[in-house]
Amino acid sequence: MDNNNLNYTYDKVIQVDDASASRKFIANVFLWMFVALAISSIAAYEFGTNESLLRLLINFETGSRTGLGTLVMFSPLAFVLIMSYGMNKLSYPILAVLFICFAALFGMSISYILLMYTASSVLGVFVTASVVFGVMAVAGYTTDQDLTKFGSLMIMGLIGIVIASLVNMFLKSEQLGYIISYIGVAVFVGLTAYDVQKLKRIGASEEYGDATKSKLVLMGALTLYLDFINLFLMLLRIFGRRR
């Protein structure tokens, strides 16, 4: 899912020196992110290793996706859009349910990777992505340097990746695919640090009430989830061993 780094109206956030509130906010963000990753991992494993479930998504005779498979492939994007644009109107419980459903559907949509790559390489890349993500998250949280301009460059890079990926859907160039993946790794590594710093400032802000902050926890978790998943998929394209 290479086309999603969510941008919310964080421009007018007033930063205050509230380290405790910031740590609590970030901790809740990562808790929800880990819950989503666990749900996605379970869904991906179940559908990737259970032939009867996988047949619901893929027609083994033709190699094409079934109607349900096509729906599952595009539905995560719909959930992201609904959550992003409906955050202010949706209640926290509904937003949480949507987030959980998104994580399950996204796990189902990437279950194919267990057919394309060896299980050991998928696990190895997942561990590598986790380490890289963790290092950049700590860097983004602890740095005193303002990463706003850096983040803007990363977002421009993300837009470029989306455009190049769409073009390569028609060109089907393996070389271009590798170039996109290498650039994608750099972009999502940078976005991880930028997004964590942005969320740290949200957590320390007095501008939002508790109810709104609870929703922002979920949206922040969604943002970091997408950063991690895209980093993982980009690394997998480069280093994954195909069957």
Contact 32, 38 (CB under 8 A): no
| Rounded Cα distance, 181 and 233, in Å | 8
Determine the 3-state secondary structure of 58 from DSSP: strand
Give the chain's end-to-end CA distance (angstroms, integer). 22
Helices 92-109 and 19-49: crossing angle, nearest 10°?
40
In this structure, the chain runs to a length of 243
Q: Where are the alpha helices (DSSP H) in 143-208?
A: 148-171, 174-203
Count of other CB atoms within 10 angstroms of residue 171:
11
Q: Residue 127: helix, strand or coil by DSSP?
A: helix
pLDDT score of 13 = 43
CB 43 within 8 Å of CB 104 = yes
Report yes or no: 33 and 224 within 8 Å, Cβ to Cβ. yes
Contact 205, 14 (CB under 8 A): yes
Please give the Cα distance from 173 to 175 (Å, whole number). 5
Query: What pLDDT sits at residue 243?
Result: 84
Residue 63 region, left (φ>0) first, then alpha (ψ -120 to 50), else beta?
Answer: left
Q: One digit per residue, pLDDT tens: the chain, 243 residues?
A: 554 444 444 444 444 447 788 899 999 999 999 999 999 999 999 999 999 999 999 988 887 899 999 999 999 999 999 999 999 899 999 999 999 999 999 999 999 898 899 999 999 999 999 999 999 999 999 999 999 999 999 999 999 999 999 999 999 899 999 999 999 999 999 999 999 999 999 998 877 766 688 999 999 999 999 999 999 999 999 999 998
Model confidence, pTM:
0.90
DSSP 3-state assignment of 242?
strand
